């Protein structure tokens, strides 16, 4: 290498690195390319060519990000223009506590049920009401469940704690903590009304009215359908921006640094 190449090579390398970093940052704030974008998992996980085990192999590739959750027509009302088959509202075990001021319902409802249509593993990730006109049926329709819990068609076949679960190419990450199952006794209570001030003075009351009559805290934390705490009170399914300490992106409505999210509702 002559002296010029010596200088130029690192400059090119730094340039590429900058482009790479900028393009990764540019994805922030959008669902595109996040874990909620079910398009192109294989490409993202393995690079090209797209020969991986996911989109188009273990579930249908509809080639549209939004369609796995929304449809412009023929929707149900679990969440805005909701396109997904919903789980049966039976068989759930809800979080309960003697300390409760308000009472949880017998089963998740509304937006929580919409989230659970993927996250409890009872419905396949590609089970939607309205499909695009043309797509190739993958023939397999995997669910976000641990292997063996609800049949064998589960993402947990690969995404579990055993290293090397997927033949040699790469180890699939352990996603079992994201497979909530129908046993919600180990999850923050959902589908229950917020306590009123009289019931619990240590519970902050959301004040700001939204157009639909729901209430919202100034930091964007919402309540849903009749002032209930739901999965989407704490999570914004479109926004992977807020990283936690491990660098994962739990789609939070607002940062939980210093437990800010928790302190929105709980005056502790
Ligand atoms: C993984 C499921 C999922 C996907 C994929 C998804 N959404 Fe949503 N979307 C939801 C849920 C749940 C709600 C209701 C909760 C909320 O308002 O944040 C919602 C609400 C909305 C709303 C109304 C409330 C608001 O935030 O303005 C719009 C508009 C919307 N989504 C657009 C989109 C578009 C456009 C796409 C594709 C680029 C998309 N969504 C993909 C789950 C999804
Ligand atoms: C179309 C299916 C689908 C729906 C509907 C859905 N999710 Fe997800 N979600 C996923 C997938 C796939 C992942 C990634 C799992 C993995 O890591 O293997 C995920 C991951 C997550 C994560 C973890 C992100 C991380 O990096 O730690 C959170 C939090 C989450 N979802 C919350 C929600 C909430 C709240 C709702 C409802 C508002 C919802 N999801 C609806 C498919 C879905
Ligand atoms: C045959 C094994 C296998 C199956 C089945 C499988 N995956 Fe994966 N998945 C992998 C491997 C290997 C990777 C790449 C390593 C990693 O990121 O964990 C991966 C990566 C991912 C990623 C990260 C993608 C990215 O953007 O980097 C998500 C999300 C994911 N899988 C979700 C799922 C979901 C949801 C299902 C079920 C519908 C599923 N996987 C089924 C093997 C599998
Ligand atoms: C009271 C607030 C709150 C509610 C309600 C809530 N979550 Fe979460 N959730 C969080 C926080 C905070 C995290 C991030 C934890 C961390 O940083 O590891 C999280 C993490 C997650 C994860 C990722 C777990 C991991 O470690 O990768 C998933 C998946 C998830 N939530 C889904 C849901 C679903 C589905 C519901 C409704 C059934 C729900 N959440 C209800 C606050 C909430
Ligand atoms: C959107 C509002 C909201 C947010 C944000 C929120 N919670 Fe809650 N939380 C509730 C409601 C409602 C209850 C039930 C309260 C009652 O009736 O006593 C509750 C109950 C609890 C309980 C008591 C359970 C019991 O056994 O009595 C704990 C502990 C708790 N939350 C922890 C947290 C933590 C930790 C966070 C942050 C990750 C958080 N909460 C964020 C609304 C919220």
**Model pLDDT for residues 185-237, shown as the tens digit of each residue:** 999 999 999 999 999 999 999 988 777 767 899 888 999 888 899 999 999 99
**Any idea what the Cα angle at residue 130 is, between residues 127 and 132, rounded to 5°?**
100
If one residue of 117, 122, 142, 159 were mutated to test the ligand 3 pocket, choosing by the most ligand atoms within 8 A of its CB, it would be: 159
Q: Residue 20: what pLDDT?
A: 41
Distance (angstroms) between ligand 4 centre and the Cα of 24 equals 24
Nearest listed ligand to the Cα of residue 217: 5
Query: Does the pLDDT of residue 176 top 60, yes or no?
Result: yes
Q: Residue 138: what pLDDT?
A: 95
Interval 136-149 mean pLDDT = 91
How far apart CA 59 and CA 50 sit, in angstroms, is 14
What is the maximum alpha-carbon separation in the chain? 79
Nearest CA to ligand 2 atom 20: 35
Q: Among 18-27, 146-155, 158-167, 181-190, name the one with the lowest average pLDDT.
A: 18-27
pLDDT, tens only, 45-70: 888 777 788 999 999 999 999 999 99
Nearest CA-CA partner of 41 in 69, 24, 65: 65
Token pair 């249509």 is at which residue?
Answer: 117
How far apart CA 223 and CA 231 sit, in angstroms, is 10
Query: Does the pLDDT of residue 164 top 90, yes or no?
Result: no
Q: Which residues contact 55 (CB under 8 A, 6 or more apart)?
A: 38, 39, 40, 41, 42, 61
Ligand 3: atom nearest CA of 170 is: 12
How far apart CA 257 and CA 267 sit, in angstroms, is 16
Nearest CA-CA partner of 169 in 178, 177, 158, 160: 158
How far apart CA 257 and CA 248 sit, in angstroms, is 14
Q: How many CB atoms lie within 10 A of CB 208?
A: 11
């Amino acid at each position: 290498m002559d002296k010029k190449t010596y200088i130029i090579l690192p400059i090119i390398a730094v340039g590429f690195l900058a482009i790479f970093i900028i393009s990764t940052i540019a994805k922030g704030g959008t669902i595109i390319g996040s874990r909620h974008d079910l398009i192109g998992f294989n490409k993202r996980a393995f690079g090209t060519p797209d020969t991986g085990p996911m989109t188009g192999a273990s579930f249908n590739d509809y080639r549209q990000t939004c369609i796995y959750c929304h449809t412009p027509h023929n929707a149900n009302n679990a969440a805005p223009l909701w396109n997904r088959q919903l789980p049966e509202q039976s068989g759930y075990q809800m979080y309960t506590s003697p300390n409760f001021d308000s009472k949880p319902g017998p089963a998740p409802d509304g937006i929580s049920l919409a989230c659970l249509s993927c996250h409890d593993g009872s419905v396949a990730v590609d089970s939607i009401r309205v499909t695009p006109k043309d797509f190739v049926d993958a023939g397999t329709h995997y669910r976000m469940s641990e292997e063996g819990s609800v049949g064998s068609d589960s993402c947990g076949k690969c995404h579990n704690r055993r290293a090397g679960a997927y033949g040699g190419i790469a180890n699939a990450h352990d996603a079992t903590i994201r497979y909530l199952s129908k046993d919600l006794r180990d999850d923050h209570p959902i589908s229950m009304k917020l306590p009123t001030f009289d019931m619990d003075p240590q519970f902050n009351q959301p004040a700001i009215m939204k157009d639909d009559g729901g209430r919202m805290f100034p930091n964007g934390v919402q309540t849903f359908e009749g002032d209930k705490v739901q999965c989407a009170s704490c999570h914004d399914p479109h926004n992977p921006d807020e990283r936690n300490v491990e660098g994962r992106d739990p789609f939070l409505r607002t940062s939980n640094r210093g437990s800010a999210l928790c302190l929105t509702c709980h005056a502790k």
